[in-house]
Structure 1
Amino acid sequence: MSILSENMRYLRGKLNLSQQKVADHLSITRGRYAKYEDGATEPPLEILLKISKYYNVSIDLLLRINISKYSIDELVELPDNRIVLPIKVDHEGNDQIEIIPQKASMGYLNGYSDPEYIEGLDTISLPFLKGGKFRAFPADGDSMPPYKNGTYIVGKYVEDLSDLKTDRTYVFITINDGISYKRFQFHEADGIWVKADNSFYEPYKIPLAEIREIWEFACSISTKEYAPDEFSERNIQSFIAEIKTDIKQIKEKIGDKN
């Protein structure tokens, strides 16, 4: 029995539906549907699309993941009919946050939609982060002070481009750059403009076709301390400016909730 047939059987049973009722919705005979569910034959694309819409589950998910392992209520749907993100919790009910390894950050571009890759990542739980899907990404380079190499940016998954807010920071997963942490500026018809907090770097445009995921800054985890000589007047000013920005974002989030 294939993953698809197992998922079809599981979804039908979960909704307490008969084979005849599902077959009627698909405009096929019950006998034909039974062969799909038993794994004797595979449904053609047009029937697969109907099955996907009927159960409101992506085709990618139907074909690749045993969804009986997850609660449907704990899945975050991705655009373009791609795989969904399971929101996993620990034994105390806290959301588990996957950690993308520093040395393997570029490999994330190949594995971000692979459930086996994601399930193999180490996880942490931060009880103060609730209400969404979170993931930790390594900071790299000097474009976003005061975050040093070794810092992890914990991001909340952004489900729609319209949710992006000007001057807030996000982790962008793109075809060309892999993982990058930048400040969103504005939309264009075919892309979005972002900038680094380090004024040495010019703002640039990310084509929409290159974007795979976007994660909004939720918090940061520093793994390296600053050396005394790093706290020059310029660095302190940048550090204070970043704190002010974070405080502004927190106030805006509180205002949005109210």
Structure 2
Amino acid sequence: MPQQTTINQRVQELIDTFSAGNKSAFARSVGISNQSVNEIVGARQSAPSFKAIQKLLLAFTEVRPEWLINGDGEMLHQEEVNAGAPEGGTFNEVFYGPNADNWMRISEALTHLRHASNKEEAKAQYVHIKKMLADVLSSTNSLDNAVIESLLHIQHHDLAYAYLTKEERNEIKLVGNDLVTHYITVGREDKEFINSLPSINIPDPIYQNGLFRCFQIADDSMAPSLSAGTYIIGKYLEEWQNNIQSNTTHIVVTQDGIIIRRAVNASPIEDILHMIPDNRSYATLKIKYEHIREIWVAVSTITHNLSNTSIDYAAEVARLRADVEEIKSSLPTKK
């Protein structure tokens, strides 16, 4: 059984198939911006909007909507498709049928829902979307719940936070070192897996504004500041290319693992992020943007290694003064 791909990977397949891997040429063919294409298949791996999917399927009518949306079956229709939109099928009705404009308005409403500033605003937008869905469904008999869920699932990352209750917003999922492999492959997009993770609830206002996750440090690259085994809570960083907090600890999820170090966006032109350790016995890592899946900026830690060392700063200053005086006395005097 072939491994399930993401919609981002399937768009990349289309770029390779129809534009020989040239993203700019693909963007021109579809009628969307280069930025939109880069956000879908580049480092950000954003979910394509309904409008982008509609334009893509209109540009390449031989592509099966079921394959693009769900990864079901083959990429192309088995029989040659005549010029114009293919007929029949529930997905085809969504993208090519008389309700296509209504679906686009629903997509735009979903974007507004994503940016809702509070629960009340999100609820109002959600009610509005449900009404629009009811109006669309009342005029067709071919759309079933599976189709609706598939279309909404495309933007599940955008919608997730808006749907959370106050209690759920305080809930922070923990990703231990034993779960890293699964998390970086399919787990971070697997709602069932994320829901199964252990969680903590911290009733502090700082954790009520954004999405937070807790990761475990695997090595001593951040010692003595952070030791191996320490849990570090990070806030999800949207549009991270422009929002890296230089020289601040970040959790960077790549295609190969999770790196927890100080981030410096040293080479934005070359699309390279530098991850600098506090422990100088470790080398600085240079990560290409295209290998980055998500970034979280560190906000707090949970550790079992509390230091019981008490520092007498007055005594330290006195010792330093004594050392300076000893050095001065050993210097030759001026004649």
Matched with 1:209 is 290
CA contact 1:94–1:126 (8 Å) conserved in 2: no
Matched with 2:215 is 137
Q: Give distance in 2, aligned partners of 1:43 and 1:142.
A: 54
RMSD of aligned residue pairs (Cα, Å):
3.7
Matched with 2:174 is 99
Residue 149, structure 1, aligned to residue 228, structure 2: yes
Residue 41, structure 1, aligned to residue 90, structure 2: yes
**What residue ranges of structure 2 are gaps of 5+ in the alignment?**
1-53, 55-87, 112-121, 127-153, 312-335
Q: Give distance in 1, aligned partners of 2:222 and 2:237.
A: 20
SS in structure 2 opposite 1:119? helix
Matched with 2:63 is none
CA contact 1:97–1:125 (8 Å) conserved in 2: yes
Q: Give runs of aligned pairs for residues 88-127 of structure 1, distance below 5 A.
A: 88-89=164-165, 91=167, 95-110=170-185, 111-127=187-203
Residue 225, structure 1, aligned to residue 305, structure 2: yes
Seen in structure 2, the aligned counterparts of structure 1 residues 84 and 183 have a Cα distance that, compared at 3 Å, is same
TM-score, length-normalised on structure 2?
A: 0.45
Q: Report the Cα offset of residue 148 of structure 1.
A: 2.2
Seen in structure 2, the aligned counterparts of structure 1 residues 45 and 172 have a Cα distance that, compared at 3 Å, is farther
Matched with 1:84 is 158
Q: Give distance in 1, aligned partners of 2:124 and 2:284.
A: 40
Residue 180, structure 1, aligned to residue 229, structure 2: no
Q: Report the Cα offset of residue 47 of structure 1.
A: 5.0
Q: Report the Cα offset of residue 86 of structure 1.
A: 2.5
SS in structure 2 opposite 1:109? helix
Q: Report the Cα offset of residue 82 of structure 1.
A: 7.5
Q: Give distance in 1, aligned partners of 2:259 and 2:212.
A: 16
- Residues 138-196 of structure 1, C-alpha deviations (whole Å, 9 max, x = no match): 111000123223211100000012111211110000012x1110111124222212211
Letter in 2 for 1:55: S
Residue 163, structure 1, aligned to residue 163, structure 2: no
Structure showing the higher strand proportion among its residues: 1
Q: Report the Cα offset of residue 212 of structure 1.
A: 0.3
Structure showing the higher helix proportion among its residues: 2
Larger Rg: 2
Letter in 1 for 2:192: E
Runs ≥4 residues deviating over 4 A? 44-50, 70-74
Letter in 2 for 1:207: K
Seen in structure 2, the aligned counterparts of structure 1 residues 82 and 52 have a Cα distance that, compared at 3 Å, is farther
TM-score, length-normalised on structure 1?
A: 0.57
Q: Report the Cα offset of residue 52 of structure 1.
A: 5.9
SS in structure 2 opposite 1:103? helix
Q: Give distance in 2, aligned partners of 1:55 and 1:164.
A: 29
Identity %: 25
Seen in structure 2, the aligned counterparts of structure 1 residues 113 and 85 have a Cα distance that, compared at 3 Å, is farther
